[in-house]
Amino acid sequence: QQQVKQSPQSLIVQKGGISIINCAYENTAFDYFPWYQQFPGKGPALLIAIRPDVSEKKEGRFTISFNKSAKQFSLHIMDSQPGDSATYFCAANKAAGNKLTFGGGTRVLVKP
């Protein structure tokens, strides 16, 4: 049973466009929702994270939108750049144990 579902699996966007990745979760005990960015041959790196007490968090060109009632959250990459081409993972976590449950990943390709 996949507790965090991520879509789409892949995404192609033109430079300057907006990339949108969606995630849905099932476990209402999750209380921390990070997004990780992974470049080929590298480990995942934390990009931005949100807790369910806020509906939106913005850091530079990256914004998380969070809908607690729908149990959904999304990542928006504004003004996408070729350097943003990577695989993005959403994740969810319960405070106790810090066990990250990852979505399936979205491969983003930004065309110049």
Partner 1 sequence: DTAVSQTPKYLVTQMGNDKSIKCEQNLGHDTMYWYKQDSKKFLKIMFSYNNKELIINETVPNRFSPKSPDKAHLNLHINSLELGDSAVYFCASSLSMNNEQFFGPGTRLTVL
Considering the complex, what minimum distance in angstroms separates the CB of residue 96 from partner 1? 7
3: helix, strand or coil: coil
Element (H, E) at 36: strand 33-38
x/- mask, partner 1, residues 60-89, rule CB under 8 A, reads ---------------------------x-x
- Give the other-Cβ count within 10 Å of 69's Cβ: 5
Between residue 8 and residue 37, which ones bind partner 1 under the rule CB under 8 A? 34, 36
Q: How far is the CB of 93 from partner 1 (least distance, A)?
A: 9
Please provide the DSSP assignment of 63-104 as one string: EEEEETTTTEEEEEESS--GGG-EEEEEEEEETTTTEEEE--
Q: Is 109 in the site for partner 1 (CB under 8 A)?
A: no
- Does residue 1 touch partner 1 according to CB under 8 A? no
Does residue 58 belong to the site contacting partner 1 (CB under 8 A)?
no
Region 38-57 residues binding partner 1, contact defined as CB under 8 A? 38, 41-46, 49
Segment holding 17, helix H or strand E: none
Q: One-letter amino acid identity for 102?
A: F
Query: What is the binding site for partner 1 (CB under 8 A)?
Result: 34, 36, 38, 41-46, 49, 87, 89, 95-102, 104-105, 107
